Structure formats: structure tokens, C-alpha cells
Amino acid sequence: MALFFVLFFIPTAFPAFAQNSSPWKIEDALHLPEWFSVSGEHRARYETLSEQFRLGSNGSDQILSFRTLAQARIKFNDEFQLKLELQDARAELADSGSRINNSIVNAAELLEANLVWKTGDLFLEGSESILRAGRFTLDLGKRRFVARNRFRNVIQGYSGLDWLWTAQQGVKVRTLLTLPVNRQPTVPTQLLNNDTEFDEESLHQIFWGIFISAPDLPAGHAGEISFFALHEDDANKFQTRNREIYTPGFRFYRPEKAGNLDYELETMLQFGSVRATPALQDTRDLDHFAHFHHAEVGYTVKSCWRWRFFLEYDYASGDADPADGKSGRFERLFGPNITDFGPTSIHTAFVRANISSPGARLQVQPHKKVSGYISYRAFWLASNKDGWQGASGLRDVTGNSEHFLGHQLFLRGKWKAHPNLKLEGGVVYRIDGDFQQGAPGAPGQGNSLYSYISTTLSF
């Protein structure tokens, strides 16, 4: 924790640390031609968790993760270019009692390999169009449903087609047809050894959608509408929950601005069918209906520190009854969690499923290269008979345990110490609620303290 406070306050007290200077670039050092560029970054992050809250766990946990990204672009002309990106995500210090999975470890993998076509005046004069074909990453909207992972050690990739059309007035239309990349390996012993195995796509898992955004609605408002679909079915060595899920949604917001109130409303509905488990013996399709909502209102103070305070509320439905032949838990699919619910990795206490959570947050940016926030949230189960989602694995199908999951306080800071170096740290204090007292299998270790510190070197 001491390292975090040093990280956060030293740059505030000594802004000379953050003086402007030019970044060092490997492509300049290599004197590469204009049509060929390379870049990369390396992140090292140490995390520690004082008391584990997972089913069957005990004691503390720690992990030292590394993520190296290397990109190359070949520009054939003004319209066509090729992009390649390699990802190497590894972990050390973890053991058999650690939370380890392929969102933390994915060694030596091709993250992106796509051909890009850019053109203008397609359908409308002044419009721009970008078509990507191959393997790529995605960022859509507020990143709650589909995003290129930032905090998580392993970035999710997709293979297929991604087309973005932008009108002269700023309206964007994006359509995608993809096969999500299935990260390999999945066996914990292989992950602990940082074993390498090629990731694979499957024609038995298809993700597609359309996303439309209008950033300049009247009176300073903005809006988005979207429709996503996921189709899965079992295949040889590819077991799924046979999800056939359709997710329409919308988001309206007023961007934050000094001296003004801002707000955000986002809603997603889901319908279709799923199975309770990926087991081959499980062939019963359950009718699926679920929903997610986010509401937020804030105010940014006119000040050189850019103080912003906002209240927020999130609700993601849970499964009302495991025996009613229906599914009601919101499927979060490819959306990150840290922005709304706190760190993932060995923490991952709360995620966007079976949850009801009000909160408040204070953000501050005392320098253009230094920022941070402190966040408080309380958490309840949306459905008593569904589980505490995320890392815990706890569930009381009788619903007799209480539904209050507890409180969480999260302090996070970032400092761009040099054009090539970023530092980040965070501390999370989680306080047990009534649910942990009565849930079957709860480790009963009490409140937990999680902290992390990371350095990212770009080149």
C-alpha cells in the first residue's frame, strides 16, 4: 500500500517529474521506411490478496504478471495496410491455490493479423469507411459489452470482418461478423507453467452485431443503439452452453464538462436460450431472458484539478429459480469489469451478473499526466437463489442465505512518468456482507485487502 501512496502523491508534489519530452521509438532507432512501422509495450504487475473469498480457498494469494505486445504495420498505399500484433501474457509466483485461468496466461500468441481497407465517400460524400478482415481486437461504446482488455492480462481477439462507416457529421455505423478466439491452454497446471498452445476459432461459436452511435444529438447529448448475437453449439473437443442469445441495447449520455452536470443511461436486454452447464449430458435448452441497466449522474468542478463526483447504479439480473426451466442471469460475454466493479485477475470479486449495486466516486486529475479516483460501492444479489458471480463460486440454491454481499472501497492512481513509462497502482478493501455468513462452502476468512502496482514501458 505504501508504494501506492508514493506512486500517487509524489508526482502531485513534484510536477517537474512529468515534464514534456519526446518518446523513444524503436522504429526511429531502426530508421524504418515510412511504409513500415513497429511498436510495442511491456507491462509488469504485482498483485496481492490478503484473504481469499473463493469456494474452497484459504489464506492469501499473489501473482506477478507480464504482458508484452509487439505490433507491426505495412502500409501498401493510402487505402490498404496490413497489421500484425503478437501477445505474450505470463504469470509467476502463482501456485495451486491461486486463481489462475487463461484470462491471466496466454503465452506467445498471435493477437491480430488483419488486412485494412480505408476509403472515402462511400454512400455519402465526406464519409470515411474502414473494413478489417482477419484477426483483430474490438472496442465498442463504453466498453461494457465488447472491448479490448486493458487491465486484464490477456486481451480477447476475434476473427472475421469488422466494418466501420463514419458520416461527415460524426454518426458511426459499425457491423461485425466474428468467431471469438478461444484461448489455449485451459488446464491450470499448463497455465502455471506458462505453456504455449495455439489459440483456435470455431465455426460452432459465432458473434455478430451492429452498433450505431450519434455523438452530436441536440443540447449536447449523445446516443448509441446496438444489437449483438451469439450462437454456440457443441462440437468435438468444443463444449459450450449452447447459447443462442440476442442482445439489443441503447445508451444515452451527456459527456462530462467542467461546470456542467453530466449523465449516462445504458440498458441491455437479452433473450434466446442457454443450457445450465457445458456438460455433454446437459441437453436441456432453457428459455433465456435477462437484462442489465447502468445509471450515472455527475458534476465536474471548474478547477485545475478537474474534480468530478458522480453517483452510479448498476443492476444485472440473476436466475430466479434453478428449477423453473428458465435462465435469467445476464450474460456479460466480452465486457471488462474494472471500470464499474473493480479489479479482475486474482481479485474479481464482482462482475456484471446477478448484482444490484449503488455507488459513488470522486475523480481527480491534478496534472495532465496524473489521475486517480476513489470509489465506494455496496453490493446485493439480484436473485437470492443464484450465485455470487465472479471468482467466488458461492451459491445457495435455497435462497435462505442473505442477499447482501458487502461493501467495496477502491483507490486507484495513474502517472505517466515519462512518454515511454506509465505507472499505476490500486488498493481494494472488501467488507463481507450477510451472504458470506450463511452461504454453503463460504471460506469465512472475513474481509479482504487487494493491492496492485504496475509499470508499462512503451517503445
Instruction: Specify the number of domains making up the chain.
Output: 1
Give the pTM: 0.91
- The answer to the question of residue 28 being in a domain is no
What is the overall mean pLDDT for the chain?
A: 93
Nearest to 271 by CA among 224, 220, 328: 328
Distance CA 101, CA 87 (A): 16
How big, in percent rounded to 5, are the helix, strand and coil portions of the chain? 10, 50, 45
Give the pLDDT confidence of 262-293 residue by residue, as tens digits.
999 999 999 999 999 999 889 999 999 999 99
Integer CA distances (angstroms), 268 to 291, 292, 319, in order? 6, 5, 16
Band of pLDDT at residue 236, cut at 50, 70 and 90 = confident
- The answer to the question of residue 385 being in a domain is yes
Give the pLDDT confidence of 166-222 residue by residue, as tens digits.
999 999 999 999 999 999 999 999 999 999 999 989 999 999 999 999 999 999 999
pLDDT number for residue 1: 43
Which whole number is the average pLDDT over 303-311? Answer: 95
- The answer to the question of residue 36 being in a domain is no
Q: What's the per-residue H, E or C state across 50-114?
A: CCCCCCCCCCCEEEEEEEEEEEEEEECCCCEEEEEEEEEEEEECCCCCCCCCCCCCEEEEEEEEE
- The answer to the question of residue 9 being in a domain is no
CATH value at residue 414: 2.40.160.100
Cell of 116: 485494412
Task: Say how many C-beta atoms besides its own lie within 10 A of residue 226's C-beta.
Answer: 21
Phi, psi dihedrals of residue 407, rounded to the nearest 5°: -115, 160
- The answer to the question of residue 359 being in a domain is yes
pLDDT of 246 above 90? yes
Give the pLDDT confidence of 107-147 residue by residue, as tens digits.
999 999 999 999 999 999 999 999 999 999 999 999 999 99
Band of pLDDT at residue 150, cut at 50, 70 and 90 = very high
Non-local (6+) Cβ contacts of 410 within 8 A are 342, 343, 374, 375, 376, 377, 426, 427, 428
- The answer to the question of residue 420 being in a domain is yes
- The answer to the question of residue 241 being in a domain is yes
Which whole number is the average pLDDT over 364-371? Answer: 95
Distance CA 425, CA 23 (A): 22
- The answer to the question of residue 179 being in a domain is yes
Give the domain extent around 339.
42-458
Q: What angle do CA 42, 143, 374 make, to 5 degrees?
A: 75
